[in-house]
Amino acid sequence: MSRIWSYEQIKIGDPMDPETLMGPLIDDTARQTMMQAIEAVKNQGGTVVRRYAPDRGGT
Q: pLDDT tens-digit profile of 1-59?
A: 456 666 677 787 888 889 888 777 778 888 888 889 888 988 999 887 765 555 555 44
pTM of the entire predicted model: 0.51
Closest CA to 12 of 51, 58, 54, 55: 51
Asked whether 51 and 11 are in contact (CB, 8 A), the reply is no
Coil vs helix vs strand at 33: helix
pLDDT confidence of residue 26: 79
Closest CA to 50 of 58, 59, 18, 39: 39
- Tell me the residue length of the chain: 59
> Hey, which bits of 1-59 come out as E strands?
none
